[in-house]
Amino acid sequence: MKKRLIAMTLAAVMTISLAACGSGGGNDAGSETTQAGAETSGTEAETSQTDAEASGTDMNIAMITDSGDITDQSFNQTTYESCKKWAEENGAQFTYYKPDSDSDEARNASVDQAVAGGANVIVMPGYMFAAAIVAQSDMYPDVKFVALDVGEGDLCEKGVGEGYDYNPANWDVTEYYNTDNVYCCTYQEEISGYMAGYAAVKLGYKHLGFLGGMSVPAVTRFGYGYVQGIDAAAKELGIEGDVQVEYVCGGQFYGDADITAAMDTWYGTKGVEVVFACGGGIFTSAAEAAVKAGGKVIGVDSDQAPVIDQYAEGLTVTSAMKGLAATVNTVLTDIKDGKWSEYTGKIDNLGLVSDNPEENFVQLPIGSTQWGDGFSEDDYRALVKAINSGEIKISNDITAMPATSVTVTDYGSVK
């Protein structure tokens, strides 16, 4: 294929260029690095390599942040901590890189830095890395790319470019990246969204809100799952007429004065009791408004109680989580055990694999969820079992808001 021939030529040029640079650790301006969990230095790098040789692994793992950093209490932090812990426990080298700007070019540059630093496994969290997979998987055929939450549609959008109709079924995604050295996965967000909405109603909340970031598929699946869970719990309790949902997206993945003002109206004027804040740092606007009115917040992606509860103790009801740590641990372990061929070319959609909540790729946090008489930990475990068995079915269709018996008001987008 013409595209791949060009990429291979570029790879050869890049190899010569990177060898000439000879930076070793890839630690120039615009990146932040650790070596097996510590700041990189010659001595620490030697110690880490000795550990790797003793353990029998030559894995040199790099993790690259997307538009945030490793303290975001979300995708980046969870992925960083999981990679770091795995590397320490398995004697592998580990480095993380923070691109110097929020752009495809900066993320691509961090991939180049990671390869120059010797990385042979690169972990990338978030759909923003689709461009890097398309641009660089051919350039570095000996590097194993693990792309978390990057789906077929993301790759097609970047690969096709202008003219893409946003229907990946109309395109051959394998034409746009090297399937021989890439593993991608997405998550069944609708399931953990459903569980969060179901739990909230069972715990007594009747006026609920959903604040999404940008209206991308993952956010929409969270939101539509949330609405389905709310509706199911209301039907079970026979209170459909008493439950209502406000639904909006902010148009961005961070909070600001405009979004906080909208949340002030929800909590303070409309009487919303709890908001599922779904989309990076947008939870800040929900949390700020909730504190003023005595409301509550539901977190997303990871257990966000530690960061949301800094606004007020007990502010977080629960979090609709993706199992990033479970994914990292499973894939890295299988790479070490020589099972990489079982992953290459796959774009998995991860969800429930067990009746045991802790073993699943989507879940609620058992330790920080505010269990009550209406919804206990035992009730949660029963819910997971019912979903896993197929007794409860959750739609992942995001073409239209789910039909419900409860009242849902969709405000579109704040921005």
CA 231, CA 14: separation in Å to the nearest integer? 54
- 152 CB burial (10 A radius; 0-12, 13-18, 19+): middle
Q: From residue 91, how far is each of 175, 305, 325 by CA, in Å?
A: 36, 31, 18
Classify strands 34-35 and 38-39 as parallel, antiparallel or unpaired: antiparallel
Residue 131 backbone dihedrals phi, psi, to 5 degrees? -65, -40
Determine how β-strand 121-125 pairs with β-strand 296-301. unpaired
Q: Is the pLDDT of residue 216 over 90?
A: no
Q: Please give the share of the chain, as a percent, with pLDDT higher than 70.
A: 87
Interval 370-387 mean pLDDT: 98
Q: Hey, CA dihedral for 157, 222, 362, 329, is it positive or negative? A: positive
pLDDT digits (tens, 9 = 90+) for 190-201: 999 999 999 999
Q: CB–CB of 76/84 below 8 Å?
A: no
Do strands 60-64 and 207-212 pair parallel, antiparallel, or not at all (unpaired)? unpaired
| Model pTM score | 0.82
3-state class percentages of the chain: helix first, strand second, coil last, to nearest 5:
45, 20, 35
According to DSSP, residue 403 is labeled P
Running DSSP on this structure, what letter comes out for residue 281?
B
Q: How far apart are CA 150 and CA 184, in angstroms?
A: 6
Q: How confident is the model at residue 25 (pLDDT cuts 50, 70, 90)?
A: very low
Helix (H) or strand (E) holding 340: none
Instruction: Tell how far CA 355 is from the center of its chain.
Output: 22
Give CA–CA dist 290/259, Å, rounded.
13
pLDDT of 4 higher than 90: no
Region 60-75: mean pLDDT is: 88
Share of the chain above pLDDT 90, in %: 79
